[in-house]
Chain A
Amino acid sequence: QSALTQPRSVSGSPGQSVTISCTGTSSDVGGYNYVSWYQQYPGKAPKLIIYDVSQRPSGVPNRFSGSKSGNTASLTISGLQAEDEADYYCSSYAGSYTLVFGGGTKLTVL
């Protein structure tokens, strides 16, 4: 059970769109539609922003969207805002009632 692969960092200017990828295998991301995404500010607990690949919890702006193709899930943030600068983590069910997280991506708003 290896960590999911995310880019270490991504960046974008206000108003632009950015996409963060999360690559796993057919045993986790590719095998189930149980991918979640979390936003984490420094020194704070993670916050759920996407679950079940593309579902948004109540209160999360629709600028955040999720998708999946094969063994790779993606988080897209459109209309980038300064407050979106944070770390983002994906997670996926990995079978046998286990969970695996991605290594995290630092989003910088230029």
Chain B
Amino acid sequence: QLQLQESGPGLVKPSETLSLTCTISGGSISSSGYYWGWIRQPPGKGLEWIGSIYYSGNTYYNPSLKSRVTISVDTSKNQFSLKLTSVTAADTAVYYCARHSTVTTFVFAYWGQGTLVTVSS
């Protein structure tokens, strides 16, 4: 059974860079046809797609966050990562990693449990 697990600091200072990693078990990040994405959810609010990556390194970003986001993949570790720069309190959220099908259908069938990241000094 495919499992995804987010990891990283739970507290980040304003203006600094948020860094998270998603570790995949029970499957390979290099599986053909699957993409790996990040989604976030501010406390009490809705979901927001941050971006996605294919194992080859092709990336796709939410236009509203594109200038601050970098998603990368490490196939040797079966992991992919998120970096979000210049964070503010508005970036406080539960961050989920998930696997989806194509970059048109975006069917997120597998999700990590999520990790809360708080931006505060």
**Interface residues, chain A, with chain B CB atoms under 8 Å away:** 1, 3, 32, 34, 36, 38, 44-48, 51-52, 57, 89, 91, 93, 97-104
Contact = CB atoms under 8 A, between A and B. Distances in A.
Nearest to A36: B107
A101 B107 contact: no
Interface stretch (B14-22, B68-76, B78-86, B110-118): B110-118
B105 A52 contact: yes
A102 B41 CA distance: 12
B103 A97 contact: yes
B108 A101 contact: no
Contacts of B113: 44-45
Contacts of B106: 34, 36, 91, 93, 99
Interface of B: 39, 45-49, 60-64, 96, 98, 103-109, 111-114
Contacts of B46: 3, 89, 101-104
Contacts of B111: 45-47
Given A1-B63, A45-B111, A93 B47 contact: no
A38 B108 contact: yes
Given A1-B62, A1-B64, A98 B49 contact: yes
Contact of B107 (A48, A98, A102, A103): A48
Contacts of B47: 38, 46, 89, 91, 101, 104
A25 to B, nearest CB: 15
B49 A45 contact: no
Given A45-B113, A46-B96, A93-B106, 12 more contacts: A32-B104, A34-B104, A38-B47, A46-B111, A48-B107, A91-B108, A98-B49, A101-B39, A101-B46, A101-B49, A102-B46, A104-B47
Contacts of B107: 36, 48, 51-52
A91 to B, nearest CB: 7
Q: Which 8 A-B pairs give the minimum distances between C-beta atoms?
A: A45-B111, A99-B49, A104-B46, A101-B47, A97-B103, A51-B107, A97-B60, A103-B46
